[in-house]
Structure 1
Amino acid sequence: MKQQPWIGFLLASTATAMWGALPIALQQVLQGMDAQTIVWFRFFVAGVGLLLILSAMGALPKLVGLHRRFWWLLLVAVIGLAMNFWLYNVALQYIPPTTSQVLSPLSSFIMLFVGVLLFKEKIGLHQKISVVILFIGLVFFFNNRVTDFVQFSHYGQGVIIAILASIIWIAYGISQKMLLIKLSSQQILLLIYIGCSVAFFPLAQVGQVMELTAFQLGCLIFCCANTLIAYGCYAEALNRWEVSKVSAMMTQIPIFTIIFSEILTALWPRYFIDPSLNALSYVGAVLVVCGALLSVIGHKIFPQWRK
C-alpha cells in the first residue's frame, strides 16, 4: 500500500490514545464487575467483531492440514494472552492506571532478551543503553513508594502482579511470532480471541453487566471496542507509515495515560483518583518512555550503535 504519512500518524495516534485511556476505563468497570468477566466480554466482542471483518474480506483462516505443532503454539498463545489480560485487570485493583502503563514497556524489553536466547537476535548498543535508562526511570518513578514495597502493601502487590502480567505476555509474543509462518496476524488474533473467550466463559458472571451503573457500562463498552479499534488502527498504520515511526508512537502510551488521568481527575474527582505523582515520579515516567523510544528508533538516530 502507498505510504500516507499523515493518515498513518493519525491512525497510530488513535491507537496510542485508546491504549493510554484503556486502564483508566478498566478501573471504573472493576468497581462493579470482576476481572475474569471483564476479560471475557473483551475477548468475546473482539472475537465476534474480527470474525465479521475477516468474513467480509474473505480472509478467514484455513485450518485444514495444519501441523500439531501449530495447535500447541496456539494453545501457549491463548494461555499467555488470557493470563496477561486477567493479571493486568487484577493489578488495576491495587495500583493506578499510570503505574500499570509505566510498567508496560517491561514486556518489550523482556522480549528483547528472549529474542537473543531463542532466536539468536543481536542487541545493539542503543538497546543496552535503553535498558539502563528504563531501570533508572523506574527507580525515579517509584521514589516515594519504597515503604509500599518493603511492607508488601496492596500497591506493592499490584506492581508485582503487573510485572507478572508483562512476563507472561512473552509466552503470547513468542508463540505469535512463530505462528506468523502459517497465518496472518489478524487470523492468529481471531483464533486467540476465540480460544480466550472459551477459556474464560465458565469463569465469567455475565449477569454482572446488569448491575453496572450507566457510567460503568459506558466504560465497559469502551473497553470492548478498544481492542478492535486500537488494533485495527495499529495494523492500518503499519500499512501506511514506517514501522519504526509507528513503534515510536506506541512508546508514548504511558504519557497519554498520565495526561488523561490528570485531566479526568481535575474534571471529575468523584470518579477518578489522583495518581499522586511527585516531580521525581514524572521525571521517571519520562525516562521510561525515553528508554523505550531509544530501543525502538535508536538504530536510526545512532547507526553506529547497531552492534
Structure 2
Amino acid sequence: MKQKPMLGFSLALLASAMWGALPIAVKQVLVAMDAQTLVWFRFMIAGLVLFIVLRLSGKLPKLTALSRRLKMFCVLGAIGLAVNFFLFSYALHYISPTTNQVLWQLAPFTMILCGVVIFREKFAIHQKIGFALLIIGLVAFFNDHFDEILQLGAYAYGIVIGAMAAVIWVLYGISQKMLSETFSSQQILCIIYLGCALLLTPFAQPTQFYALNGFALGCFIFCCLNTLIGYGAYGEALKHWEASKVSVVTILLPIFTMIFSIIGHNLYPNLFAAPDMNLLSYIGALIVVAGTILSAIGHKLIKNNNEETK
C-alpha cells in the first residue's frame, strides 16, 4: 500500500488525542460506576462491534487455527489487557489523569526488557539512555510529592496501581506479537476484547449504568467509543505511515492529557481539577516522553547519523 504520511500522521494524532482524553473522562464516570463495570462495558461494546464488522466482511478469525499454544496466548492476552484496563481506571481514584499517563510510559520499557529476556533481543545504547531519561523524568515529575509517597498513603497506592497497570500490559503486548503470525490485528482485538468481557462478567454490575446522569453518561459513551476509535485510528495509521513514526506520535499521551486537563479546568473548574504539577513536574513529564521516544526510534537516529558521516 502506498504511504500517505499526512493521513497517517492525522490518524496517529487522532488516536493519541482519544487516548490522552480517556483518563479525564474515566475519572468522571467513576463517580457513579465502579472500574470493573466500566471496563466490562468498554470491552463488550468494542468486542461486539468488531465481531459484527468482521462477520459482515467474512473475516472472522477461524478458531480451528488456534493451536494449544495460541490458545494460551489468547488467554494471557485477555488477562493482561483486562487487568491493565481495570488497574488503569482504578488508579484514577487516587492519582490524576496526567500522573497515570506518565506512569503508562513504563509499558514500552517493560516490553523492551521482556524482549531482551524472552526474545534475546539486544538492549541497545539508545534504549539504555532512554531508560535513564525515564528514571530522571519520573524523579523530576514527582518532585513535590515525595512526602506523600513516603507516607505510603493513598497517593503512593495509586502510583503502585498505575505502575502495575503499565507493567501487566506486557502480557497483552507479547500475546499480540505471537498471535499476529496467524491473525490480523482486528481479529486479535476481537478475540481479546470478547475474552476480556467474559473474564470481567462475574465482577461487573451493568445496572450501575442507570445511575449515570447527563454529563457522566456523555463521558461513559466517550469511553466506550474511545476503545473503537482510538485503536481503529491507530491500526489505520500503521497502514499509511511508518510504524516508528506512528509510535512517536502515540507516545505523546501525557502531553495531550496535560493540555486537555488544563483546558477542561479553565472552562469547567467545577468538573475538572487543575493538574497538580509545578514547573519541574512539567519538565519531568517531557523528559519521560523524550526517553520513551528515544527508546522507540533512537536506532533510526543513530543509523541516519552514521549514514550522514560516511
TM-score by length of 1: 0.97
Q: Offset of 1:41 from its aligned partner?
A: 0.4
Which residue of structure 2 lines up, in the alignment, with residue 101 of structure 1?
101
Which residue of structure 1 lines up, in the alignment, with residue 167 of structure 2?
167
Which residue of structure 2 lines up, in the alignment, with residue 221 of structure 1?
221
SS in 1 for 2:64: coil
Q: Offset of 1:300 from its aligned partner?
A: 1.8
State the Cα deviation string for residues 83-142 of structure 1 (Å, max 9, x = none): 111111110110000000011110100110110110011122111101101110000000
Letter in 2 for 1:114: C
Q: Offset of 1:65 from its aligned partner?
A: 4.5
Matched, 1:191 2:206: no
Which residue of structure 1 lines up, in the alignment, with residue 279 of structure 2?
279
Q: Offset of 1:251 from its aligned partner?
A: 1.1
The 2-side partners of 1:242 and 1:173 are apart by: 19
The 2-side partners of 1:6 and 1:67 are apart by: 40
The 2-side partners of 1:191 and 1:242 are apart by: 26
The 1-side partners of 2:151 and 2:71 are apart by: 43
CA contact (8 A) 1:84 1:165 kept: yes
The 1-side partners of 2:299 and 2:71 are apart by: 36
SS in 1 for 2:298: helix
Change in Cα spacing, 1:76 to 1:282, as seen in structure 2 (3 Å) is same
State how 1:50-61 maps to structure 2 within 5 Å: 50-61=50-61
The 2-side partners of 1:297 and 1:275 are apart by: 29
The 1-side partners of 2:211 and 2:304 are apart by: 58
Which residue of structure 2 lines up, in the alignment, with residue 15 of structure 1?
15
State how 1:61-140 maps to structure 2 within 5 Å: 61-140=61-140
Letter in 2 for 1:229: I
Q: Offset of 1:305 from its aligned partner?
A: 8.9
Which residue of structure 1 lines up, in the alignment, with residue 39 of structure 2?
39
Q: Offset of 1:66 from its aligned partner?
A: 2.4
Q: Offset of 1:57 from its aligned partner?
A: 2.2
Q: Offset of 1:202 from its aligned partner?
A: 1.9
The 2-side partners of 1:230 and 1:169 are apart by: 17
The 1-side partners of 2:129 and 2:116 are apart by: 16
The 2-side partners of 1:15 and 1:65 are apart by: 31
The 2-side partners of 1:301 and 1:199 are apart by: 42
SS in 2 for 1:302: helix
The 2-side partners of 1:173 and 1:284 are apart by: 26
The 1-side partners of 2:176 and 2:235 are apart by: 15
Letter in 1 for 2:143: N
Greater displacement, 83-92 / 171-180:
171-180
CA contact (8 A) 1:299 1:305 kept: no
Give the length in aligned residue pairs: 306
- Gaps in structure 1 of 5+ consecutive residues: none
The 1-side partners of 2:239 and 2:145 are apart by: 42
The 1-side partners of 2:211 and 2:136 are apart by: 43
RMSD across aligned positions (CA): 1.3
The 1-side partners of 2:302 and 2:155 are apart by: 38
Which residue of structure 2 lines up, in the alignment, with residue 242 of structure 1?
242
Runs of 4+ in 1 over 2 A off after TM superposition: none
